[in-house]
Amino acid sequence: MTFTISPPPHIKQDTTFKKITWIKILALLPVSVVSIYFFGLYALALILAGIGMAIVTELVIEKAFNKDITIMDGQAVLIGLMLALMLPAEAPIWIPIVGSFFAVAIGKHAFGGIGSYIFNPVLVAWVFLILAYSSYMYPVSFPELGGISDIFLENGAGLLIGVSPVALIGGLYLILKRYIEWKIPAFYVLTTLVLAFLVGDEIGHVVTGAFVFGVFFLATDSPSSPVTKNGRIIYGILCGVLTVIYGHFANYIFAVFYSIFLANCVTAFIDTSTLPGSFAEESFLQRKYRKIMEKIPIERLGVKTDD
Partner 1 sequence: MAEINVMETIPEKMIIPLKQHNGDICEPLVSKGEVVKVGQKIGECPSEKCAAIHSSVCGEVVSVEESSHPSGNRINSVVIQPIEETECEDFTPFKDSGKEQLISAIKEAGIVENYGTPTHLVLNPPDCDIDTVLINATASEWVGHNYETPLEYASQMLDSLRLLMKAAGASRGAIVLRNDDKDSIDAFDGLDYEGKTIMVAPLLGKRRVGYYFNDQNTDIIVASQDKIYGKNIFEYFTYNVTGRKVPFRCTPANAGVAICGVKSAKAIHDLVNTGMPYIETVVNVSGQVNNPQHLLVKIGTTFRDVIEACGGYSGEPAKLISNGVITGVAQYEEEVPVTKMTTSIIVQGKDEVLKDISKDCIHCARCVDVCPVDLIPNRIAALSNQGRFDECRQMHIENCIECGRCSSVCPSKIHVMQLIQYSKEAIARADEDFSEKESSNIKLGCSCGSE
Phi-psi region of 265 (alpha: psi -120 to 50; beta: other; left: phi over 0): alpha
- Least separation in angstroms between CB 272 and partner 1: 9
- Least separation in angstroms between CB 142 and partner 1: 35
When the beta carbons of 17 and 173 are compared against partner 1, the nearer one is 17
- Contacts to partner 1 by CB under 8 A: 1, 3-13, 15-17, 19-20, 73, 113-116, 178, 181, 222-229, 232, 271, 275-280
When the beta carbons of 16 and 155 are compared against partner 1, the nearer one is 16
Is 163:38 a contact under the CB 8 Å cutoff? yes
Is 59:109 a contact under the CB 8 Å cutoff? no
When the beta carbons of 66 and 278 are compared against partner 1, the nearer one is 278
- Least separation in angstroms between CB 249 and partner 1: 32
Backbone angles phi, psi at 91, to 5 degrees: -60, 140
- Least separation in angstroms between CB 242 and partner 1: 21
State the DSSP code for 224: G
Cα angle, residue 17 at apex, residues 88 and 161 outer, rounded to 5°: 15
| Other residues' Cβ atoms within 10 Å of the Cβ of residue 245 | 16
When the beta carbons of 115 and 297 are compared against partner 1, the nearer one is 115
CA neighbor of 137 nearest in space, from 301, 11, 254, 302: 254
> What residues form DSSP beta bridges with 159?
88
- Least separation in angstroms between CB 267 and partner 1: 9
CA neighbor of 164 nearest in space, from 54, 273, 17, 31: 31
> What residues form DSSP beta bridges with 88?
159
Q: How far is CA 171 from CA 29, 124, 155, 157, 180, in A?
A: 11, 22, 21, 20, 8
When the beta carbons of 15 and 155 are compared against partner 1, the nearer one is 15
- Least separation in angstroms between CB 7 and partner 1: 4
When the beta carbons of 40 and 276 are compared against partner 1, the nearer one is 276
- Least separation in angstroms between CB 2 and partner 1: 9
